[in-house]
A and B are shown apart, each in its own frame.
Chain A
Amino acid sequence: MIAVITAVAVIGVISVLIGVLLGILAEKFKVETDPREAGVRECLAGSNCGGCGYAGCDAYAHAVVFEGAAPNLCPSSDKNKIGEVMGVCVLEKARQVAVVKCSGNCSNTRDNYVYGDETDCRVAYLAPGHGAKKCAYGCCGLGTCASVCPYDAIKIVNGLAKIDREKCMACGKCVSVCPNRLIEIVPADAPYTVLCSSRSKGKDVKAACDVGCIGCGMCARVCESGAISVENNLARIDYTKCTGCGKCAEKCPCKIIRFNGKS
């Protein structure tokens, strides 16, 4: 019993002494920090997604206060509060969202083979034909993008990645992990997007998938503002020119140009 008490007493006394000494030292060598840095940091999400281009939320808050970084780079932050902390008016940056440019789910795309139970698209991509689906450009549907999303905005629905536009903060993490480069960051107010990335010839696309771009060019012909071009058998919309008339979506024989929000 006495041994226990001595042990506790010795450790206790030493710890208290150390605590007091460290406290005094910390007070003596205090480093002045800018309260604005903590204020800005509080307005950020804290998920360290890196969408702003800095190492994390702490680094971005530091950059806003001391390096003059733009205060509106974080889409999930409260801009008014950051403005109050910094004493400036912060304008909302045009919101962006990620879009998966593929429509081929399990029911409208045919498979080359059964791949087995791979759980990472980057592994499946190494297999012949870039995964089990007949289309070499399509979504593998194994959810690597969903697993890296810090905002839980991506779900795999019927073998195809779906992005929740409300939750997406356009950080770009999914863009960089997708082996097929299917995901693109587009303006949130872009009315129409081409939901296919296949650069195969029309006949091959049809053989693989019911909802693939065959590169017929119908959309480019009906577009009045010249926003659509077809390159490498794939239609592409220039969002700066698109007026949102919707003629392309009407004409598209494969129905892969779709109005956003109803995909």
Chain B
Amino acid sequence: MSFLTTLFLGIISAALVNNVVLSRFLGLCPFLGVSKKTSTALGMGAAVIAVITLSSAITYLIDHFILRDKLVYLRTIVFILIIAALVQSVEIILKKKIPSLYKALGVYLPLITTNCAVLGVAIDSAQKNYTFAETMIYSVGTAVGFLIAIVLMAGIRERIEHNDIPESFKGMPIVLVTAGLMAIAFFGFKGTIG
């Protein structure tokens, strides 16, 4: 397979077939919390893309050069440290550069720290012994998958907001039902790529 095919298939596989939210159920907190408006969801998705890409690059280097042979047991705690620091820097930069987005994301921005999708990608690629290129493809694909899922969700939520929903389903229940239906739809991608 040529490099381009690998790249394409890798991204498709990570973004759609093994979608981080809808197939692996990681990062559900921001997925449900910040998906009320498409614009905010886009901002959240972009922030997650930045954090995941940067954090997997840095965690790969640290894992490869410091932890790999003898200090594997330190992986989780070191990765969490790095992700927390990255999220903090994203927060500082956003606060200065795009205050409106900073306000819209609110508490969910620092919560990217505990977004298990970010840690999941870093640990997954370390455990599968990916090369640097593979790690990057995998992480960008996963982050794009998160963006796709959260923006789709926000679009659906904007549409169902004024629908006539039974009293007991109003609010979070209908959102969770929607998420379940979306997960079933994404299940249709299973098997398309080996």
Q: Which residues of A contact B (CB under 8 A)?
A: 6-7, 10-11, 14-15, 18, 21-22, 25-26, 29-31
Contact = CB atoms under 8 A, between A and B. Distances in A.
A14 B81 contact: yes
B82 interface: yes
Contact of B93 (A11, A15, A25): A25
The B interface is mostly helix, strand or loop, or mixed, namely helix
B82 A18 contact: yes
10 contacts: A6-B71, A7-B71, A7-B73, A14-B62, A15-B81, A18-B85, A22-B89, A25-B93, A26-B92, A31-B99
A11 B75 CA distance: 10
Given A10-B71, A31-B96, A25 B89 contact: yes
Given A10-B67, A21-B85, A25-B92, 4 more contacts: A10-B66, A10-B71, A14-B81, A31-B99
Say whether chain A's binding surface is mostly helix, strand, loop, or mixed: helix
Shortest 6 CB-CB distances between A and B: which pairs? A29-B96, A18-B85, A29-B92, A25-B89, A26-B92, A25-B92
* Interface range on chain B (Cβ under 8 Å from partner): 20 to 34
Contacts of A15: 81
B81 A22 contact: no
B74 A10 contact: yes
B88 interface: yes
B81 A18 contact: yes
B29 interface: no
A29 to B, nearest CB: 4
B77 A11 contact: yes
Contacts of A26: 92
Given A18-B81, A21-B85, A22-B85, A11 B92 contact: no
Nearest to B88: A22
Contacts of B99: 31
Nearest to B66: A10
Interface string B77-90: 11001100100110
Contact of A11 (B81, B85, B89, B96): B81
Contacts of A18: 81-82, 85
A252 B81 CA distance: 72
A11 B95 contact: no
Contacts of B73: 7
B83 to A, nearest CB: 11
A10 B78 contact: yes
Nearest to A19: B85
B178 to A, nearest CB: 29
A79 to B, nearest CB: 30
